[in-house]
Chain A
Amino acid sequence: MRKIKEFINNFGLPRIIIGLFLLLLFVVAPFVGVKVSTSINDTIVRFGMNSVMVLAMVPMIHSGCGLNFGLPLGIIAGLLGATMSLEAEVHGFAGFMMAIVFATPFALILGWGYGRLLNKVKGGEMMIATYVGFSSVAFMCMMWLLLPFKNPTMVWGYSGRGLRTTISTEGYYLHVLDSFLEIKLGPIVIPTGMLLFFAVLAFGMWAFLHTKTGTAMTAVGSNPVFARASGINIDNIRTLSVIMSTWLGAVGILVYQQSFGFIQLYMGPFYMALPAVSAILIGGASVNKATIPNVIIGTLLFQGILTMTPSVMNSAVHTDMSEVVRIVVSNGMILYALTRKTEATR
């Protein structure tokens, strides 16, 4: 009995509830006429689409900057890369790589500035990160109208200026990762390329966290006084973590687009931080502790619920309550993490 209690305490009650809920959905699914194979397929694809953005949470949590609610900033760097790659008319896999190349300098510069800002507001990072994200999205709304893009697939047809709200990646880099080494197992199609891409980045992150700088980052997050005493430049390490997070956000949105098929501009990135934040929390991370398994488990659970609830609910009770479930699960998880007493004190 005590062991069970300990396990619940360690793993967290909400995570268990969410895990059981997902299990229940999978058990119920065949009885209400939902094809489990399609659901599994969707879950895998959505895992691939979102996992890099969830991975972007890891460095900032490690360095003690908290949850990166400012992810839209990284996404904006990615969007700039994507639009510039389309403007340069680079097609296929080269276009995808080009987008990453174009996005990188923006991610580095924006991340550097964002990191410097967060160093000035230690303790209040999360609220400010949220609003940095919001204001940068709103600022870019103006820029999308004004930037001199010319490619006719991207700009509004009638005025010939200002980018469209959604741009198709078809003919450019649609599914370049998804279809790479694609494996077909009956009805299930595994987007191997996309999963491999995530695996490479995740392995890179894991390896980085075991280098000297990575260890220093963890030290800064878990005990800043000790880190300072051992001669680590806290501000530099934190800025580095923010830059990494921003860059991963940029790459994350590009991976998302190549699978989703559309570049969403204007208010598109506005609320994109919240799903990523709740995914990593569902995976077992806390405000100041996160690992790669947290990323993988969390994204699978969260995306699993997102794909399963609408289909099961629709078939079972003929209403789509998935929106409510999504809002309650994701924000409830964030609330749970924010209110943990043991983790509140650094």
Chain B
Amino acid sequence: MKAVRQTFWKKIGDFVSNNMVPVLFVVICAFSIPLSGYSANYLLSEIIVRISRDSFLIVSLLIPIMAGMGLNFGMTLGAMAAEIGLICISDWGIVGIPGMVLAAIISTPISVLLGWWCGKILNMAKGREMVTSYIIGFFMNGIYQLVVLYCMGAIIPVRSAKLVLPRGYGIRNTVNLSGIRKSLDNLVSLKIAGISIPIATFAVIVVLCLFVVWFRKTKLGQDMRAVGQDMEVARAAGIKVEETRIISIIISTVLAGYGMIIYLQNMGTLNTYNSHTQVGMFSIAALLVGGASVAKANIRNVFLGVILFHLMFIVSPMAGKNLIGEAQLGEYFRVFVSYGVITLSLVLYEVRKKREANREGQELAADQKEDAR
């Protein structure tokens, strides 16, 4: 009887800690939507835009999680590769879908190279992949600035005067992507009750999701899950652990690059030196809001996360304005919530891991204590 009750409480406890973040977000949204005073129609259309814009990026995070490498903060590397591709096509004046495809083709080898390098370094920092990938993102940002701000136009030829800073080299702070603006979104789009739905973009996202589902079942996908479960066991079973981990990061980086192209074709402008830094944080926060953890994430988390996170993001400035009379407050609030969510999820994950891993250790320690006495 006691055992039954214990498992019951454990189940409740697990449910709460598993779903604490999504539940918290539902509560925040439930409070702030009426406060913001936005119409349901407006919110719906905004959410559809955000799903089409962000989901591809977020899905790119799933594969390293599968391989037990945690949240890939190094996804910004892929975003940088994509931005270089986009700068190239803007310079060459290639527009529309061909432009996007060409940008993707340019970004791929860069992403593969960066992903391989990132994977190599993460293999040298096992057990602290996340903080390392986070610093890698910063480090590459420096190299990216070196290339884009100093080499482009000086060493790498850039023809278009619209792209180059007045001093003669380096790319301007904002690049107008009017050539590919919404070219995928408007390729096939449907209007229902005044809300336009970008069918083509959604089709691409669905294909990606199917790819991820299929990938899980392949030999490589199975290997990754084995590596994620226990590196030593996987190694004993003949899996090349290091290689598998590197491949997972390469796939993630390449996908992040494609996701960034989709994201920017929707935005229509590229903030040359800022776009990629924000993308990583928002994608990770959204995935965590969807109920994912550092060790477990699936496609359901992605979509739930995009909806809840961006709902909060859209309504909080207005809610802040209507509540206290200051929109700025709402803006700070949403920044705080984004970071807070990541913090909370990381803490919950570590605490749970500790609790599970320590159960045995504590018994051992208790024995030792008795021995010591």
Q: Give min CB distance, A278 to chain B, whole Å.
A: 10
Assembly CA distance A131 to B125 (angstroms):
19
| Residues A66-87 near B (CB distance < 8 A) | 69
Q: Give min CB distance, B3 to chain A, whole Å.
A: 27
Check A321 against B150 for contact (C-beta < 8 Å): yes
Say whether B141 faces chain A, with CB atoms less than 8 Å apart: yes
Contact with A along B308-342 (1 / 0, CB 8 A): 00000000000000001010110011011011101
Say whether B126 faces chain A, with CB atoms less than 8 Å apart: yes
Assembly CA distance A95 to B136 (angstroms):
41
Q: Give min CB distance, A52 to chain B, whole Å.
A: 24
Contact A331/B332 with A124-B350, A127-B128 known, Cβ cut-off 8 Å: no
From B138, B145, B324, B346, contact of A127 by CB (8 A): B346
- Residues of chain B with a CB closer than 8 A to A127's CB: 128, 130-131, 134, 346
Assembly CA distance A326 to B130 (angstroms):
22
From A131, A327, A335, A338, contact of B343 by CB (8 A): A131
Assembly CA distance A142 to B143 (angstroms):
34
Contact with B along A310-344 (1 / 0, CB 8 A): 00000000010101101110011011001101001
Check B336 against A120 for contact (C-beta < 8 Å): no
Assembly CA distance A228 to B332 (angstroms):
43
Check B346 against A124 for contact (C-beta < 8 Å): yes
Assembly CA distance A135 to B337 (angstroms):
8
Check A145 against B354 for contact (C-beta < 8 Å): no
Check A338 against B131 for contact (C-beta < 8 Å): yes
Say whether B97 faces chain A, with CB atoms less than 8 Å apart: no
Contact A130/B146 with A138-B336, A141-B332, A142-B329 known, Cβ cut-off 8 Å: no
Say whether A11 faces chain B, with CB atoms less than 8 Å apart: no
Count the B residues whose beta carbon is within 8 Å of the partner chain — how many? 43
Residue of B nearest to A328 (CB): B142
Say whether B187 faces chain A, with CB atoms less than 8 Å apart: no
Q: Give min CB distance, B241 to chain A, whole Å.
A: 15
Assembly CA distance A331 to B134 (angstroms):
10
Assembly CA distance A320 to B302 (angstroms):
41
- Residues of chain A with a CB closer than 8 A to B234's CB: none
Interface of B is mostly: helix
Q: Give min CB distance, B214 to chain A, whole Å.
A: 31
- Residues of chain A with a CB closer than 8 A to B134's CB: 127, 130
Say whether A109 faces chain B, with CB atoms less than 8 Å apart: no
Assembly CA distance A126 to B130 (angstroms):
9
Contact with A along B144-181 (1 / 0, CB 8 A): 01100110000000000000000000000000000000
Say whether A237 faces chain B, with CB atoms less than 8 Å apart: no
Assembly CA distance A85 to B318 (angstroms):
34
Contact A335/B127 with A121-B350, A128-B343, A327-B141 known, Cβ cut-off 8 Å: no
Check B351 against A121 for contact (C-beta < 8 Å): yes
Say whether A117 faces chain B, with CB atoms less than 8 Å apart: yes
Contact A128/B141 with A145-B332, A229-B372, A324-B146 known, Cβ cut-off 8 Å: no
Check A339 against B121 for contact (C-beta < 8 Å): yes
- Residues of chain B with a CB closer than 8 A to A242's CB: none
Say whether A96 faces chain B, with CB atoms less than 8 Å apart: no
Q: Give min CB distance, A56 to chain B, whole Å.
A: 18
From A162, A328, A341, contact of B143 by CB (8 A): A328
Q: Give min CB distance, A280 to chain B, whole Å.
A: 15
Check A131 against B127 for contact (C-beta < 8 Å): no
- Residues of chain B with a CB closer than 8 A to A123's CB: 127, 350, 354
Residue of A nearest to B121 (CB): A339
Check B350 against A327 for contact (C-beta < 8 Å): no
Q: Give min CB distance, A200 to chain B, whole Å.
A: 33
Contact A139/B139 with A123-B350, A339-B124 known, Cβ cut-off 8 Å: no
18 residue pairs bridging A and B, Cβ less than 8 Å apart: A121-B346, A123-B127, A124-B130, A126-B128, A128-B350, A132-B343, A134-B343, A138-B332, A138-B340, A139-B340, A142-B329, A321-B150, A324-B150, A331-B138, A335-B136, A338-B131, A338-B132, A344-B127
Lowest 3 CB-CB distances: which A-B pairs, in order? A327-B142, A138-B336, A121-B350
- Beyond known contacts A127-B134, A131-B343: 15 more, CB 8 A cutoff: A120-B351, A126-B128, A131-B342, A132-B343, A135-B343, A142-B329, A146-B329, A324-B146, A327-B139, A332-B139, A335-B121, A335-B132, A338-B125, A338-B131, A344-B127
Chain B residues engaging chain A, CB cutoff 8 angstroms: 121, 124-128, 130-132, 134-136, 138-139, 141-143, 145-146, 149-150, 324, 326, 328-329, 332-333, 335-336, 338-340, 342-343, 346-347, 349-351, 354, 365, 368, 372
Chain A residues engaging chain B, CB cutoff 8 angstroms: 69, 117, 120-124, 126-128, 130-132, 134-135, 138-139, 141-142, 145-146, 162, 228-229, 274, 319, 321, 323-324, 326-328, 331-332, 334-335, 338-339, 341, 344
